Amino acid sequence: MNSRERITCALNHKSPDRLPVDFGGTSTSGIHVSIVYKLRQHFGLDIKGTPVKVIEPYQMLGEIKDDLKNLMGIDVASIGVPGTFFGFNKENWKEWDLWDGTPLLVPEKFNTDANSDGSYYQYAEGDKNYSPAAIMPRNGYFFDSLNRQKPFIEEDLNPYANTEEYKPLSDSDLFYISNEVNKKYNNTSYALVGSIASSGFGDIAFVPGPMLKEPRGIRDVTEWYISTLTRKDYIKKVFDIQCKIAIENYERVHNLIDDKIVAAFTSATDFGTQDRLFISADTYRQLYKSFHKKVNNWIHENTGWKSFIHTCGAIYQLIPEFIDAGFDIINPVQISAQGMDPVKLKKNYGRNITFWGGGVDTQKTLALGSPKDVREEVKKMIEIFNEGGGFVFSTVHNIQGNVPIENVLAVIETIRKYR
pLDDT digits (tens, 9 = 90+) for 4-16: 999 999 999 999 9
Residue 113 in this model has a pLDDT that exceeds 90: no
Which residues partner with 79 through β-bridges? 194
**What was the pLDDT predicted at 302?**
98
Average pLDDT, the chain: 97
Q: By the 8 A CB rule, do 377 and 360 touch?
A: yes
Q: Using pLDDT thresholds of 50, 70 and 90, give the confidence band for residue 67.
A: very high
Residue 58 falls inside a structural domain: no
Those residues whose C-beta lies under 8 Å from the C-beta of residue 267, and which sit 6 or more positions away, are 199, 200, 201, 203, 292, 308, 309, 310, 311, 327
Q: Which residues form the domain of 319?
A: 3-32+64-88+150-416
Q: Does residue 126 sit within a domain?
A: no
Number of domain units in the chain: 1
Q: What is the pLDDT of residues 283-330, one digit of tens each?
A: 999 999 999 999 999 999 999 999 999 999 999 999 999 999 999 999
User: Does residue 37 lie in a domain region?
Assistant: no
CATH code at 215? Answer: 3.20.20.210
Helices 232-257 and 289-302 cross at an angle (nearest 10°) of 10
What is the per-residue pLDDT for 419? 85
Q: Is position 199 within any domain?
A: yes
Q: What is the pLDDT of residue 189?
A: 98
**pLDDT-derived band at 127, boundaries 50, 70, 90:** very high
What local confidence, expressed as pLDDT, does residue 215 receive? 97
Q: Does a structural domain hold residue 50?
A: no
Q: How confident is the model at residue 238 (pLDDT cuts 50, 70, 90)?
A: very high
In this structure, is residue 136 part of a structural domain?
A: no
Which residues make beta-bridge pairs with 355? 330, 391
What confidence tier does 207 reach under pLDDT thresholds 50, 70, 90? Answer: very high
Least confident of 76-85, 91-100, 110-119, 171-180: 110-119
End-to-end CA, the chain: 12
For residue range 44-55, list pLDDT tens digits in order.
Answer: 999 999 999 999
pLDDT digits (tens, 9 = 90+) for 186-203: 999 999 999 998 888 999
For 75, the 3-state DSSP assignment is: coil
Among residues of the chain, what percentage have pLDDT more than 90?
A: 98
What pLDDT shows up at residue 198?
A: 83
Angle at 353 between CA 240 and CA 283, to 5 degrees: 40
Band of pLDDT at residue 114, cut at 50, 70 and 90: confident
From the DSSP assignment, how many helices (H) and strands (E) are in the chain?
A: 13, 14
pLDDT of residue 333: 98
Asked if the structure places residue 101 within a domain, the reply is no
Percent of the residues in the chain that have a pLDDT greater than 70, as a whole number: 100
Q: List, in order, residues 6 or more apart from 347 with CB less than 8 Å away.
A: none
Residue 270 lies in a domain: yes
Average pLDDT rounded to a whole number, residues 38-66: 98
Phi, psi of 84 (to 5 degrees): -125, 175
